[in-house]
Amino acid sequence: MTVEVDRYSGGDDRANDEARLLDVLNDWSVGDGPLYQQLADAIRRGIAEGALPAGSALPAERRLASVLAVSRATVVAAYDQLRGEGAVESRRGSGTRIARTARASRLPGGDGRVPGGNSAQLFQRLIDGPGTVLSLASAAGSADAVIPVALDEVARHDLAEAMLDPGYQPHGLARLRDTIAGYLTRIGLPSTPAEILVTTGAHQAVDLVAQLYLRPGSRVAVEAPGWPACYDVFRAAGATLVPVPIDQDGVRPEALAAILDETPVDLVYLMPTFHNPTGALLSAARRRRIVELAAEHDVVVVSDDTLAGVSLGHEVPPPLPAFAAAAGDRSVSLIQLGSLSKSVWGGLRVGWARASADVISRLARRKALADLGSPIIDQLVAARIVPELEALVRRRVPERQAQLATAESLLAEYLPSWRWQTPVGGPCLWVELPDVDAAVFAQVALRHGVEAIPGRSMDLSGNHDSFLRLPYCFGDEFLTEVVRRLATAWAELDRHGPWEPRLRPVV
């Protein structure tokens, strides 16, 4: 099957504009009413919020119809309605634009929408709730049974003493910092409590690191594909992102070396352990080489191990900073990030940053400005869990293996033309759709009640537009219904493609 999705002739800038428009439209087709009306409503909402500023160009009717996998008549009707309202204007030779008289009527997010960016779709579903859509935006499974046990122990043994403290601890609870340092030491990264900062999830740790190291004009090397929520954090700090290609074994050190040789880079952000979205595992040799490159180029390297706890039973090398000896006598700045969100529960908002004591002190000052410290009760629960974290991860391996086997079996049965590589770890399949732009298919899938994240949102280089991230960390019933709906959407795209009306002469 081949579905033609033409690129803008204007190159990357216009393709980026198109991607931003898709972020604004988001789940525009979810709901009742004619598609043209829903599309007009979504564009109108983008204007009101300021995401579509006055004078900005909209795609040509045929192009937008192709991207959204709808008929051109749908886009024509939506544009006609907006033109009649004075919201957009069209001129021969210059296409359709937001009217120059249009003005935003409310602050971004004022209508309940997450402001635009690569990660807007990922987080919008958290705001809206599941509704009738089966969302694959989040790759977090259910909570581990250890949570209520730890909570009970905290209530019976820890809470009374903790309540004697005012509760503001920007560095984090001393007991938790000690247990995290012990955990990292056990898995091969010798650490002390002074090298640990407790954060409200690893996402906050990324944000604090960005505040410390990035300024407008900074450059950040990121994996392509990679995690779009972090892209948005770095962009918000004013940084330019430099994509680094990866293969089935993770980031390619020779590609990173070439980039560092060509241009100054202020920060390198990697997910070496069960990379998101591919599930790749970086070998010890590659980790050692990356540390050597960090020393040679005097660049900060952030190793995000948030998914390290989503194991499928494979042996994992020590965290990347454990290879600091590869730098020899040269100084090297390495930061390791971790979290309990994927290994234990997303609702336990406890993460950490591990770095030199001096860097941790600087990050803690920014943490104090952000929230004065993470919630103490959450930290007490985490302090009960972390000492047994390795055993917990091993115990959940059979559950994750069974979920993966179910997902792969369903895909093989319902969607045999799709291709993927079985991941080494992590909660996702990185699926290639044959001859189709996954962003187009995602639009069709949305109309069949499944929200999926296409490769275009996860790869700045544009080399994975035909890929789709498919989390498998759900129950059998949910997975079965998701794959069934995806198969129905695929059959529709296969049968019709982005439908275009055929005009017949009347004379």
Q: Is the pLDDT of residue 499 over 50?
A: no
Backbone angles phi, psi at 487, to 5 degrees: -65, -40
Assess whether pLDDT exceeds 90 at residue 311: yes
Question: How confident is the model over 335-358, as pLDDT tens digits?
Answer: 999 999 999 999 999 999 999 999
Percent of the chain at pLDDT > 70 equals 89
Q: Which of 311, 477, 315 lies closest to 398 in space, CA to CA? A: 311
Q: Report pLDDT for 127.
A: 56
Is residue 503 over pLDDT 50? Answer: no
In the predicted structure, residue 92 carries a pLDDT above the cut 90: no
Of the given ranges (78-82, 131-135, 159-163), which has the lowest mean pLDDT? 131-135
pLDDT tens per residue, range 6-60: 333 333 444 556 767 887 887 888 878 899 999 999 999 889 888 899 999 999 9
Range list of H helices, 50-128: 61-68, 72-85, 120-128
> Domains in the chain, please, with CATH?
12-98 (1.10.10.10), 120-143+395-496 (3.90.1150.10), 146-389 (3.40.640.10)
Whether 157 shows a pLDDT value over 80: the answer reads yes
Whether the CB-CB separation of 403 and 409 falls below 8 Å is answered with no
CA-CA distance, 393 to 83, in Å (whole number)? 57
Supply the pTM of this predicted model. 0.85
**Where is pLDDT greater, at 503 or 111?**
111
pLDDT at 107: 58
Q: Which residues of 56-88 are buried (b: 16+ CB within 10 A; e: fewer)?
A: bebbebebbbbbbbbbbebbbbbbebbeeeebb
More confident residue, 106 or 31: 31
Q: List b or e across 443-469, with b for residues whose CB sees 16 or more CB atoms inside 10 angstroms.
A: bbbbbbbbbbbbbbbbbbeeebbbbbb
Q: Which two tokens stand for residue 176?
A: 């938790």
Tens digit of each residue's pLDDT (9 = 90 or more) over 94-103: 789 999 888 7
Separation CA 360–CA 365 (nearest Å): 9
Q: Is the pLDDT of residue 115 over 80?
A: no
